[in-house]
Structure 1
Amino acid sequence: MKIFLSADIEGTAGIAHWDETERGKADYCEFRELMTAEVLAACEGARAAGATEVLIKDAHDSGRNIIVDRLPAYARIMRGWSGHPDTMMFGIGPDFAAAIYTGYHAKAGSEANPLAHTTTTRVSRVLLNGEVASEFTFNALCAARYGVPSAFLSGDTEICADARALVPNIVTVATLEGFGRAALSISPAQAREAIFEGVKKAIDGLVDRTVPVVPGPYEVTVEFVNATDAYRASWYPGARASGPRAVSFASDDFFEIQRALRFLLA
């Protein structure tokens, strides 16, 4: 049984500042360690539930954050960015039994995490069919394109709630809650224990997992912070201006939405 794991960092237990997420900053090494430890806990939970292989997509920033020498023999890791529209889900396919997510965070426009954003801090909100969407929204629907259910997510309290709204039977572990520029977090040790148990429970119960359904046609709207970014993005084929700082793109095919986002948010 193969499991796909998409790993981010801004929902890692204890995190509260951008300096803790960026290579080259003094605080980064500590939180790189904590991100890796949460990924390992998820791998171990999947293994305990019968997984024979876990493919990890290092899905934060450079794509080169997880300490690879810590990975178990049954894991593989996708590092860096290919340029494929599957982005944070690159490497997933129909042969995977489930997708799981660690270190995920609230969407752009939210106050639920000091590090809330959607792909880039250059956007104020991203909407799908008129609803404000998160990175998880697009990634879970990407997995659904391959018929893969999203079974588990760890991250801040809001992304956990959003995940359950999109995938009602998903298992979640809330690691932190934001208050302005502050974050109230559980301990990393508690997070690792809960992630292990949560992933094991999620994989044990895969027979009950379903893929999320958002019926087409689809329209994505990107609201930029800066009007010049909106002007640049408006030149993507099929895109149209949708307000002074917003660009919209519509398609019946969700992969075309992914492809558009790959360039609109570049």
Structure 2
Amino acid sequence: MKVFISADIEGTAGIAHWDEAERTHPDWAEFRALMTAEVVAACEGARAAGATEVVVKDAHDSGRNLILDRLPDYVRIVRGWSGHPDAMMFGLDAGFAAAVYTGYHSKAGSEDNPLAHTSNMRISRLLLNGEVASEFTVNALCAAGYGVPSVFLSGDAGICSEARTMVPGLKAVETLEGKGRAATSISPAWSRRLIREGVAEALSGDFTQALQALAERYEVVIEFNNPTDAYRAGWYPGARPHGLRAVAFDHADFAEILRALVFLKA
């Protein structure tokens, strides 16, 4: 059984400030270690459930956050950004049994995490078929396109609630809850234990119900903070204005939505 892990940092237990997520700030060293430890816990849970190989996509910022020497010997690691439309899911294919998400965070416009955002800080909201979407929304649909179910997520309370609603049967571990610029978190050790146990449980049962059905057509709308970003994005073939500071693009194939996002968000 092959398992794919997409690892972010803004939903890691204990995180509360952008300094802790930025590789140029001294605080990042501590939180890259905590991010790594949660990924290792997920790997151990997958192994306990029978995984023979785990592929981890380092999916935060530079894509070069995880401390490699702490990863188990059955893990492959995808670092950096290829430019492929799968982005945070790059390395996934139809040969995987399941997808797991660690360190995930609430969408832009949410108050559930002081670090809530979607893809970058120039986007005020991203909507998919009329619903405000998170990075998890996009990534789980990417996985579904390969026929891979999304079975587990760890992160803030907001994204956990969203993921449970979006994917029936998904198991989620809440690491923190945001209030304004503050976050109340479980301890890192507690988080690692719950992640290890949660991934093992999710992969040991029947997780076929966690495979989402794809819609017949998708419309993505990106609302930017700045009108100049919307103007630039509007030059992508097939994109169109969608009110103030926003562009829209639609297609029947979700893979084409992912392709468009590479350029619309750039």
- The alignment's TM-score, normalised by the length of structure 2, stands at 0.99
Deviation at 1:206, TM superposition (A): 3.7
2:150 matched residue in structure 1: 150
Identity, % of aligned pairs? Answer: 69
SS of residue in 1 equivalent to 2:210? coil
Following superposition of structure 1 onto structure 2, how do residues 178-193 of structure 1 map, counting pairs within 5 Å? Answer: 178-193=178-193
Counterpart residue identity of residue 124, structure 2? S
Change (3 A) 1:206 1:76: farther
**Structure 1 residue runs of 4 or more that deviate by more than 6 Å after TM superposition:** none
1:209-224 equivalence runs, <5 A = 209-224=209-224
- 1:168 deviates by 1.5
Q: Answer whether contact 2:46 2:200 (CA < 8 A) is retained.
A: yes
8 Å Cα contact 1:177-1:184 kept in structure 2: yes
Letter in 2 for 1:255: A
Alpha-carbon distance in 2 for matches of 1:183, 1:205: 32
Asked whether the equivalents of residues 151 and 206 of structure 1 are also in contact (C-alpha less than 8 Å), the reply is: no
Residue of structure 1 in register with 2:174 after alignment: 174
1:55 is aligned to 55
Whole-Å Cα distance in 2 between the matches of residues 126 and 239 of structure 1? Answer: 14
Partner of 1:28: 28
Counterpart code for 1:50: G
Q: Structure 2: 5+ residue runs without aligned partners?
A: none
CA deviation after TM superposition for structure 1 residue 210, in Å: 2.9
What code does the residue aligned with 1:191 have?
A: S
Cα deviations by residue, 1:153-184 (Å, 9 ceiling, x for unpaired): 00000100110111020000000000011001
Q: Deviations over 1:18-45 (max 9, x none)?
A: 0000112010000000000000000000
User: Which residue of 2 is the match for residue 110 of structure 1?
Assistant: 110
The number of equivalent residue pairs is 266
Alpha-carbon offset, residue 207 of structure 1: 4.4
> How far does residue 85 in structure 1 lie from its aligned partner after superposition?
0.2
1:171 is matched by which residue type in structure 2? K
- Rounded to whole Å, the distance in 1 between the matches of 2:203 and 2:39 is 15
The aligned amino acid for 1:233 is A
* Secondary structure, aligned partner of 1:197: helix
Alignment of 1:203-242 (within 5 A): 203-242=203-242
The one-character-per-residue Cα deviations of 1:180-212 (angstroms, maximum 9, x if unpaired) are 110010000000000000000000014444311
Partner residue of 1:123?
123
Distance across 2 between alignment mates of 1:208 and 1:233: 37
2:162 equivalent in structure 1: 162
Tell me the SS of whatever aligns to 1:168.
Answer: coil
